[in-house]
Amino acid sequence: MRRFTINILRLSSLISLLLVLLPISGQLSSPLASFSDSLNYPVYPEVDPYFVFSSPKQGVPVRGELIATAPSGTPGYDFNWSKYNSESNGFDPPIHTETGVSASTLSNREAGCYQVHITSTDLDTIFRAWIFQNDPILEVEKGPDGKVKPYKYTCDYLILNATAEADELVYYDLGTGQETSLANAIEVTWTCDDPEYEIFGNKRLYLNIPNQPPYSRPPTKDTRFTLTMVDSFNLVREDDVLYESVHVKAEFALWYEERSDADADPVWTESANPEEESPLEIKFQNLSENGIEFVWTAVDSAKTGEESEYITYDVNDSVLHTYYIPGYYFPSLVARSEAGCVDSFPLLVRPEIHVVPSELDAPNVFTPNGDQVNDYFVVRSKSLKSFRVTIYSQTGRQVYQYQHIEGRMEWEGWDGTMNGKGNNYLSPGIYYYVIEAIGWDATVYRDVPPYTGFVYLFRELE
């Protein structure tokens, strides 16, 4: 609160003959006011204080109060209060009088300009101040139950409406009687009780939230929206409305089995762009909100003849799908709410699943001497549907064979022993291998040309 001190020099003609002119100070205050400042008139040359009394409850104006304190001088002052009359452009006869006191309070007053005439044996002065009653309007549109009206939302949008009007604080030029008003602006802001929901777009009295990207979409949880208004006199007023959501949000996360270490246990890793060899099993984790039915499409085109569409009814249910054919896949999800609203995922950035092409490569030397380095003859392969390797000695004798049919190939390799049983070590030298393999992408590693070759078994004997 600001305090206003006015220096007044008023001496009666009798006192002026006897006394030297001296400044006399007095004070008008209002501790109960919500806001205070001083105002200038369009023409009238004086500057007067004003006090704003803001209503804590809309529609219930607060009446004002002024306190006049007598300036220094001989104790025992008379206070005569009067109110400005805009029709006569003057002050009416006194409405409140107190005598022989040092201060006077004018209570329970409506808006207007008030002046107090203070007199004593050696004082004759006048103070003025304006009282303003501030009661702006703020109303958020809602039904009798405090909820958003049904015609204000569909599956395509949510609309919130409100009315806000600043109170006009009128005063008059004390010289000309000209009507004017204090500048009063309002600012409004929409917020909600969900800390994770961000409101974009128009945040004024009319808030339109369309159900489309890239702006904020209607919330999928029951959400209370609050409109906060602040005016030029620091009055904060709020009104709110509850939105019971009919909207749904479709979203999922992808998890895949990472195979970086063949000897380690499988590790499920989350990735928006998983990339692995076939067969690639993907777990679709449902992150949707407010849905009761979920339609999953694991394959975006007819790349396989296998079932690739799933329907679930619980947001906690995950979907597992195995991809076999190498290539790129763009899965999708459509979620439906109880009210029949639908949403699809993805919308903009599409998750991409990459099943890598088949690959096969064999080494030409290995050293099975137990030093844990290059102890096995093992091919480097990816996305193979079937695989068979047969190894022969230089005399044409079959010494080893391994066969894999579908599923994940987890062959550790040939250890250089007869039939790979680990107890009959074969002699170092050159061995001949024949590989017959088919990739999941139908690439044939056989016959044309024959996938054959030589591998040198090198072992240092003690």
Q: Which residues are within 8 A (CB) of 314 and not within 5 positions of it... i.e. 6 or more apart?
A: none
* Amino acid occupying residue 415: D
* Token digits of residue 324: 């076999």
For the chain, residues with pLDDT lower than 50 are 1-25, 302, 462
State the Cα–Cα distance between residues 40 and 47, nearest whole angstrom: 5
In this prediction, residue 305 carries a pLDDT of: 52
Domains of the chain with CATH codes: 4-134 (2.60.40), 137-243 (2.60.40), 252-355 (2.60.40.10), 359-457 (2.60.40)
State the Cα–Cα distance between residues 322 and 94, nearest whole angstrom: 94
Q: Is 100 exposed, middle or buried (0-12, 13-18, 19+ CB in 10 A)?
A: exposed
Distance in Å from the first CA to the final CA of the chain: 100
In this prediction, residue 285 carries a pLDDT of: 95
In this prediction, residue 77 carries a pLDDT of: 93
Give SS3 for 228.
Answer: strand
Phi, psi torsion values for 85, nearest 5 degrees:
-110, 115
The residue with tokens 């694991």 is 298
Q: C-alpha 258: how far from its chain's center? A: 33
- Enumerate long-range contacts of 81-84, CB under 8 Å, 24 or more apart: 81/106, 81/114, 81/115, 81/116, 81/117, 82/114, 82/115, 82/117, 83/112, 83/113, 83/114, 84/112, 84/113, 84/114, 84/115, 84/172, 84/174
In this prediction, residue 450 carries a pLDDT of: 60
The number of helices, as runs of H, and strands, as runs of E, in the chain is: 1, 39
Query: Strands across the sheet with 252-258, in order?
Result: 267-270, 252-258, 280-286, 319-323
* CB-CB neighbours of 367 under 10 Å: 18
In this prediction, residue 248 carries a pLDDT of: 96
